[in-house]
A and B are shown apart, each in its own frame.
Chain A
Amino acid sequence: MLAFIGNRALLAIPTLIFISFISFVIIQLPPGDYVTAYAAQLRHAGEYISPLQEEMMRDQFGLNDPMIVQYWRWISDIVLRGDFGYSLEWNAPVSTLIWDRLMLTLAISSASLVLTWAIAIPVGVYSASRQYSFLDHLFTVFGFLGKGIPDFLLALILMWLAFAYLNMDVGGLFSPEFQNAPWSLAKLGNLLSHLWIPLVVLATGGAAGLIRVMRANMLDELGKPYVETAYAQGLSEARVVWTYPVRVALNPFISTVGWALPALFSGDVITAVVLNLPTTGPLLLQALKMQDMYLAGSFILILSVFTVVGTLISDILLAWFDPRIRNA
């Protein structure tokens, strides 16, 4: 088991180097660079900088150096000094920008993941063991509705309902008076009163799909002979279902835990923008739009690290959970 983990971890290193290089190249691919985008934005606002000034800015940011040199400067700072570079647009270190938002992003996303599973697994198990019952049909209808309605639309509807009928202050994570206040119980309460909309929106979208997956997996497993064996031992239906087929049907869930990690980080960008959430998703979108290459590059690098690490975690969990994989 330890050798397995070590082996996988070592394999991850060349993968990460390759990914970091590719992501840096891709960010540079669109015509123009940050200075072009910045000048365009200024022109839009009615101001103007001369080509000479643009050239000076490029020199200053090192944008005229060959790409490999820029890449090396960027990656060696990260690896050797933990310095992710400087966001040109925000005029601030990338690490502060990202880490500030990271905690909130992780909190929201993990809470919604837990909520998604808490809804999807019991409902999926119920739907499968009572196939074609009234509740199964009801869950199916809700499932397809949840899957069909775009998250951002659901977010808008909930915001409108909360604002118009419940007279709640929605959008963002804090009311203005708590925005810069130090942490206190009142601030926490305020956070929770804002948090339910993003949680509901993110969890319903995810749960709708997972219910279908869980139901299909369970239907496959419930027909297997080992389930009949378990019944023939005299176990109650609840014990049979939850100890045997659910254990096997959860495998696909566990193998996708790894993908949840990068998804947690990038979040649901559109929903986050609509709900004005201070998470990492909207920041990434903005960085890409402005060709803010160090910020965008760092984002993509972190995403890839999360993907690789997440896959590693999935593999380990799966090996721990399913003896057929562990001993293979």
Chain B
Amino acid sequence: MGSKTMKTFDMPQERLLDVDNVQVHFPLREGLVKAVDGVSYHVNKGEVLGIVGESGSGKSITARSIMRLLPKRAVDAGGQVRMQLRSGEQFDLSSFGRNSRAIRQVRGKHIGMIFQEPMTALSPVHTIGAQIMRTVQLHMGLSRAAARERAIDLLAKVQMPRPEQLVDAFPHQLSGGMRQRAMIALAISCDPALLIADEPTTALDVTTEAQILELLKRLQSELGMAIIFITHNFGVVADIADRVSVMYLGRIVETATVDDIFYAPKHPYTQALLRSIPRLGVDQGRRLPTIPGMVPDPFSVPPGCTFNPRCSHALSGLCDTQTPPEKRFGSQMSRCHIAEQFAQEPVHA
């Protein structure tokens, strides 16, 4: 284990996480589903990477493969996930077994995770304090009393009212927003370098969502941690992310800074998604454009560019036969055969 953790990779100094060509397959009776089909992205220290995609695009599965928390019937079909801490310590996460001691020392300690459903993501029969204390005692070796103090501090940090009392509250006694705050306190309890937030505000109403986003932004700058923020909501991404990756059918189709994504998208899928967001004052009296067709069924993914059957720019003979390569425009990446075209005449969404 020691040799594994000390192995040095060639990673830029500012890099925290490198996800390289990760593939996750589900062998089902109906056929092989390539839920994640060669996803690569990186996260720099202290930055917020937004990952946008519709349901089933593989964004959560990719995040779980970072944590080695894939469902039991998933097959890890290749790829590498590497992490580099501020201390210079490096981990090859993809080499760790699902229940290995090595990955358990990363989970909860260096990577915290927030889940979508605050209603069910906390144990119903333990107080939130007890759940936070268990993690803190495990990774920081604190005594019970010290762990309790820390749990109260953490609850105060996530702006829980009356933390001294609510530390002994059970999840069902709290509202959804409060539970998500408790969940965040749990995830950041050991000052992780990376926080993975898997649709943390999807189950909340918009007011609470705004509060939670505000809280995450504040914690991020206070603790200097990086965040992978998974969502299907472009509005949320605009609010919190520094860079954005857009996923479609198990692949990343475009990665760019948040400004480039919104003002110079270079993939037709990103453009179509942006066009389908309602905006005040624009397009009044017109129907909101939608993306034609449906997400293909995972057992019959179209050949070539997986988006080609729904793409208004698709060129027959090219887009339906060849998988587009990654094309780079500075820091922007697009997997589209005709991305150059969008680079010349920016499409205003």
A residues with a Cβ closer than 8 A to B are 224-226, 228-237, 243-244, 247-248, 321-324, 327
Contacts and interface: CB of A to CB of B under 8 A. Distances in A.
Interface in B169-210: 170, 172-173, 183, 186-187
Interface residues of B, number: 32
B172 A225 contact: no
Contact of A225 (B106, B120, B139, B170): B120
A231 B123 CA distance: 12
A234 B99 CA distance: 9
Contacts of B120: 224-226
Given A237-B99, A244-B123, A232 B107 contact: yes
B323 to A, nearest CB: 33
Contacts of A225: 115-117, 120-121
A234 B122 contact: no
Contact of B124 (A232, A235, A324): A324
A233 B134 contact: yes
Given A225-B117, A323-B172, A324-B170, A233 B125 contact: no
A228 B186 CA distance: 13
Nearest to A222: B72
Contact of A231 (B69, B170, B183): B69
A322 B117 contact: no
Contact of B108 (A234, A243, A248): A234
Contacts of B104: 234-236
Nearest to B64: A228
Nearest to A328: B172
Contacts of A322: 124-125
B69 A234 contact: no
A324 B108 contact: no
Nearest to B121: A225
B134 A232 contact: no
A235 B138 contact: yes
A322 B170 CA distance: 10
A232 B122 CA distance: 12
Given A233-B186, A324-B172, A226 B123 contact: yes
Interface in B115-162: 115-117, 120-127, 134-135, 138-139
8 contacts: A225-B115, A230-B123, A234-B104, A235-B135, A236-B99, A322-B124, A323-B172, A324-B170
Q: Which 8 residue pairs across A and B have the least CB separation, nearest first?
A: A234-B108, A234-B107, A233-B108, A232-B113, A225-B121, A323-B170, A233-B135, A234-B104
Contacts of B135: 233-235
Nearest to A230: B123
A229 B122 contact: yes
Contacts of B107: 231-234
Contacts of A233: 107-108, 134-135, 138, 186
Which residue of B106, B116, B125 has the most chain A CB atoms within 10 A of its CB atom? B125
B109 interface: yes
Interface centre among B105, B116, B138, B183 (most CB of A within 10 A): B138
A226 B170 contact: no
B67 interface: yes
- Which of B99, B105, B183 has the largest number of chain A CB atoms within 10 A? B99
B284 to A, nearest CB: 41
A234 B125 contact: no
Nearest to B196: A232
B239 to A, nearest CB: 25
Contact of A232 (B69, B105, B117, B173): B69
Nearest to A131: B72
A60 to B, nearest CB: 60
A234 B105 contact: yes
A232 B190 CA distance: 12
Given A232-B107, A235-B138, A247-B125, 6 more contacts: A229-B122, A232-B187, A233-B108, A233-B186, A234-B105, A323-B127
